Structure 1
Amino acid sequence: MKKSDFYDPRIPDRDQCVVRYLINRWAQETPDKVYVQFEDGDTWTYAELKERVVRAAVGFQKLGVQQGETVAVWLPNGPDALLAFYALNYIGAIFVPFNTAFCGNMLHHVIDNSDAKIIVVHKDLVPRLTEIDLAKLKVQILCGGTCDTDTGLESHIFDDLKTFPDELMPLVRAIEPWDPQSIIYTSGTTGPSKGVLSSYLHMYSNAGPESWPMVTREDRYLVAAPFFHIGGMAPPFVMLVRGASFALLSGFSTDTFWAAAKQSQATVVFLLGVMATFLMKQPPSSNDKEHGVMKAFMVPLSDDAPAFTERFGIDIYTIFNMTEISSPIVSEPNPTVRGTCGKVRPGVDVRLVDGNDCEIPVGQVGEMIIRTDRPWGMNSGYYKNSEATAEAWRNGWFHTGDAFRQNEDGYFYFVDRIKDAIRRRGENISSFEVEVEVCSHPAIREAAAIGVPSEATEDDVMVIIALVEHATIELTALCEFLVKRMPYYMVPRYIRIVDALPKTPTQKVQKAQLRSEGVTTDTWDRDKSGLRLKREVLKQN
């Protein structure tokens, strides 16, 4: 195939970005190279990957799965999840993973919205299907063994699908780079989860060579995030594009992370949210550098990044990304600019705008909007949600809903989710920046900052915190700690300690729930405690 097939030099060949042709290519060029290592140490070479994928793909076709059809996949990380992902894409079907924590109305919504007639499901999750309306589903394919729960669906065993000896049925047409590959459901923090429709070109642009040039064919990527999250689904594809390899974990564990990295011979890891914080707050060990990891993506970039590099011997990168876009902001290794997300990568246009989409001056805070040079280089809209698609893509740019500022050198700084910003007595406060400073306290594991109604006007700042295991904290001392690290007006008035922050199934903090709970009876009030802030000075009455 030649570039001229597409008449556009920005679009890679099919065997550079489409799962079916990538698998075929690497199985032919590097059949004996290991593509994936699983948690139990089992490995699949590229030749074995193709053989397994083709057999499962034949099984799906025998059950009637058609090119362009959506198929739901409700599985934990493991060989079956990977196989379902690639076997469906191999025949041009659309991979639709569901969060394994979904139940009730959330589960019904995504099943109904996806239009899936077939669901690949772990046997332990099947009882939840009986609690909802399954009018659209017709067939269940069980993983992990058999299940006696009666859902009323035609039932098959996934292991049986992997053994079909027949040849694949021909495709209706070639699978093109702009064809839909997947639908990934967002967290639904402000409403029902939206299904992000992604093409192969979107996934390629998300973490291809121009987006993540630091990840090479020689690397092995350690994947701990679940496949229903873009952070778990994208890395296997990232490495498939490069003809590289990855190691798959069932999930992230602070206690076993470095041992898993060493055992799997991983060279690249992704540290999302508080993962880096959790690792840094583990007791130092003489074994901290005894692993093969050389590069880590830390999102967001913490103040501890230099210390993390020193302690664990790893080069740090950071990015800004979300399911709908394609890594528009990427940093250099070991960025020294505090709090940055990096600079705009090639092939992407980024603007910061006001509420009317008018560009703002450098240094001011505005919403980040994005477009790419490559056709289909970002999401193809929200599946069956034209209103949300039109709102997000208004004026020809994708609106992230995130507030940023940019400095004169081109570095971008995340300020806040626009809906999470706090305004106190005329001052605009970034909840993100409050959380960063609060979490810098060694006793605090995670924190969420919200605005709560003030008796005076606008908001007061409240933080909800969870402590490091076995840690204790004196809240007056916490305020004294914070007043040295942030402007007086950002220091929280209210502090509440909880065991863990409430999260969505994709591990985003449910700030809407925290705001609805507000100032609870167990919340500490700085004003009532007798502490008063006088500009930069904290005084005891």
Structure 2
Amino acid sequence: MIGQTRPRDFSDPRIPNRDECVLRYLLDRWAHERPDKTHVVFADGEEWSFAKMREKVRAKAAGLKELGVRQGEHVAVWLPNGPDALIAFYAINYIGAVFVPFNTAYRGGLLAHVIANSGARFLLVHPDLISRLNEIELAGLERLVVTTNLEVVAPPLEVNRFDDLVGDPDEEIELERPIDPWDIQSIIYTSGTTGPSKGVLSSYLHMFSNAGPESWPMVGEDDRYMCVAPIFHIGGMGPPFVMLARGASVAMIDNFSTAEFWKVAKATQSTMVFLLGVMATFLLKAPPGPNDRDHTVKKAFMVPLTGDAPAFTERFGVDIYTIFNMTEISSPIVSEANPTKIGTCGTVRDGVEVRLVDANDCEVPTGEIGEMLVRTDRPWAMNSGYNANPEATAKAWRNGWFHTGDAFRRDGDGYFYFVDRVKDAIRRRGENISSFEVEADVCRHPCVREAAAIAVPSEFSEDEVMVIVAPVPGTQIDCVELAEFLIETMPYFMVPRYVRILDELPKTPSAKVMKAELRSEGITQDTWDREAAGIRVRRESFSA
């Protein structure tokens, strides 16, 4: 563990020192020990060393404190990726306040819900988003802090300019008490695929355990993590903290672009990336070129791990890792480099217990499917519940374990395989079908960019399988050809009966496919029916 030889802050050896896991003390430490080392690089090439980062953060923290932000209070941040968002994140935590980012796609009822749930008095906001506030109830908001300009039509709140909140970085910023590892650092809102978004309460120790040196040993102090996820998502808020915990650097990029990805990685000298969902598929399905290996990336997390992983490594020269994680937990399942068991999420890391259970929380045998339950040896190493939502907290944490809502199976070697969200499972003709596995097979077709598999009613009983697909740009999906491809590659009972083609799949503000919306639409007029087209799949028969 980092700093293991220094005097301990706490008697419990499972709790790291404050300057190992609390943002304020980490930043102070590295600014003292590594002042000239780069901590952050932006897409335009601007770089901030640890010393420069600390100076900027302390100046902004002093300004926020003078404005009235108190230690422990929730501060809402509604900004796109960039220097302002990162400075806001660090400065809020530097004074011991709680960073509460909102998705920049929020509006209407969803925006009103998170504003009310957050309990925030202050909202840091980009001026282009302010008009949406005029449409909703503002709950307890008292003041807007606006970036870039004040020439906006704002609701009747006090307004300040973010650039004007600057104090003396050399003056001591006093705290009511030291910031402890179990204090809440952030509230990150879930995607809301099944209902109103829930605000996940994350302590500093939760964030440290999520991807710290013990959880991700493959990431070192000499790495640079290229972050392409938005800062309101755990995938965008986590990387700066992951690298801060190591005294390392992060490249903060505005968004993911297939065409620009490798060029940006090289320009920022990034050594590791996180490829979530279809990102790896997009990169692999882009036309090959002579510069496929002309970059600095050495390691990539691919989530989920698909059968294309070996081809990705071969083409781009990158070692692949995979994990299972979610905002509420702390990377309980992590793989070795280039795992050979395609489809796995890895094995249980040290310090974590994992069970697969049935509907009554009774453990299922090896090889059978069950919901994943998680708990950790270290206190505060997972979420501290859902903000202002005791019912959801109690439901998720029942029987002393966190219930992920995800169905898995475990093989005899201890490797875990994601099967489905429990709510997304499909049952057809007596067979349980993983929508995740259907989607993975469908996406192997060269013309399919992304896919969503859902259950629709059968005229007989149980479900039929339907897939909604989006094409690779510049191609067209032929439903007959796709069906014939799948008949050759999938078990007979998994082959979709229905296919619907859309230019883009509907997504939540956190870029997750809105399967609930697709299920509610069901079989539409533009849906192709394999059986109506005369293409039937027969049960395989075997003779002795």
Both proteins in one fold, TM over 0.5: yes
**Superposition pairs of residues 64-213 of structure 1, within 5 angstroms:** 64-164=68-168, 167-213=171-217
The answer for the alignment partner of 1:385 in structure 2 is 389
The answer for the alignment partner of 1:245 in structure 2 is 249
Report Cα offsets for 1:398-419 as digits up to 9, x if no partner.
0000000000000000000000
Identify which of 410, 413, 417 aligns with 1:413.
417
Report Cα offsets for 1:23-61 as digits up to 9, x if no partner.
000000000001000111111000000000000000110
Q: Work out the CA distance in 2 between the residues paired with 1:236 and 1:473.
A: 40
Q: Work out the CA distance in 2 between the residues paired with 1:326 and 1:527.
A: 45
The answer for the alignment partner of 2:428 in structure 1 is 424
Aligned AA (2:506): P
The answer for the alignment partner of 2:259 in structure 1 is 255
The answer for the alignment partner of 2:317 in structure 1 is 313
Contact 2:483–2:495 (8 Å) recurs in 1:
yes
Give secondary structure in 1 for the equivalent of 2:365.
coil
Aligned AA (1:460): E
Report Cα offsets for 1:232-259 as digits up to 9, x if no partner.
1101000000000010100001110110
Q: Work out the CA distance in 2 between the residues paired with 1:394 and 1:154.
A: 43
1:466 corresponds to 2:473: no
Contact 1:3–1:9 (8 Å) recurs in 2:
no
**Unpaired segments of 5 or more residues in structure 1?**
none
The Cα shift of 1:144 comes to 2.6
1:35 corresponds to 2:54: no
Q: Work out the CA distance in 2 between the residues paired with 1:259 and 1:333.
A: 24
Identify which of 518, 533, 537 aligns with 1:533.
537
Give secondary structure in 1 for the equivalent of 2:484.
helix
Q: Which runs of 4+ in 1 moved over 4 A?
A: 1-4, 163-166
Give secondary structure in 1 for the equivalent of 2:536.
strand
The Cα shift of 1:151 comes to 1.1
Q: Work out the CA distance in 1 between the residues paired with 2:101 and 2:168.
A: 24
Q: Work out the CA distance in 2 between the residues paired with 1:309 and 1:213.
A: 20
Give the structure-1-normalised TM-score.
0.98
Identify which of 357, 377, 380 aligns with 1:376.
380
The answer for the alignment partner of 1:498 in structure 2 is 502
1:325 corresponds to 2:329: yes
Contact 1:66–1:93 (8 Å) recurs in 2:
yes
The Cα shift of 1:165 comes to 6.2
Q: Work out the CA distance in 1 between the residues paired with 2:43 and 2:166.
A: 21
The answer for the alignment partner of 1:214 in structure 2 is 218
User: Do the aligned partners of residues 138 and 168 (structure 1) sit closer, same or farther apart at CA in structure 2, a change above 3 Å counting?
Assistant: farther
Contact 1:302–1:436 (8 Å) recurs in 2:
yes
Give secondary structure in 2 for the equivalent of 1:5.
coil
Contact 1:57–1:168 (8 Å) recurs in 2:
no
The Cα shift of 1:153 comes to 1.1
What do you get for the CA RMSD once the two structures are aligned? 1.1
Q: Work out the CA distance in 1 between the residues paired with 2:430 and 2:440.
A: 22
The Cα shift of 1:169 comes to 4.2
Q: Work out the CA distance in 1 between the residues paired with 2:348 and 2:173.
A: 44
Report Cα offsets for 1:170-220 as digits up to 9, x if no partner.
111000000000000001111100000000000000000111000000000
Give the structure-2-normalised TM-score.
0.97
Q: Work out the CA distance in 2 between the residues paired with 1:460 and 1:391.
A: 31
Q: Work out the CA distance in 1 between the residues paired with 2:150 and 2:432.
A: 56
User: Do the aligned partners of residues 166 and 128 (structure 1) sit closer, same or farther apart at CA in structure 2, a change above 3 Å counting?
Assistant: farther
Aligned AA (1:491): V
- Percent of paired sites with the same residue: 67
The Cα shift of 1:164 comes to 4.8
Contact 2:275–2:301 (8 Å) recurs in 1:
yes
Q: Work out the CA distance in 1 between the residues paired with 2:219 and 2:164.
A: 37
Contact 2:9–2:18 (8 Å) recurs in 1:
no
The Cα shift of 1:5 comes to 3.4
**Unpaired segments of 5 or more residues in structure 2?**
none
Contact 1:265–1:292 (8 Å) recurs in 2:
yes
The Cα shift of 1:302 comes to 1.0
Aligned AA (2:147): C
Aligned AA (2:164): D
Give secondary structure in 2 for the equivalent of 1:181.
strand
The Cα shift of 1:536 comes to 4.3
Report Cα offsets for 1:372-395 as digits up to 9, x if no partner.
000000000000100000000000
The Cα shift of 1:145 comes to 2.2
1:517 corresponds to 2:538: no
Give secondary structure in 2 for the equivalent of 1:130.
helix
Q: Work out the CA distance in 2 between the residues paired with 1:273 and 1:366.
A: 23
Q: Work out the CA distance in 1 between the residues paired with 2:152 and 2:81.
A: 23
Q: Work out the CA distance in 1 between the residues paired with 2:496 and 2:9.
A: 59
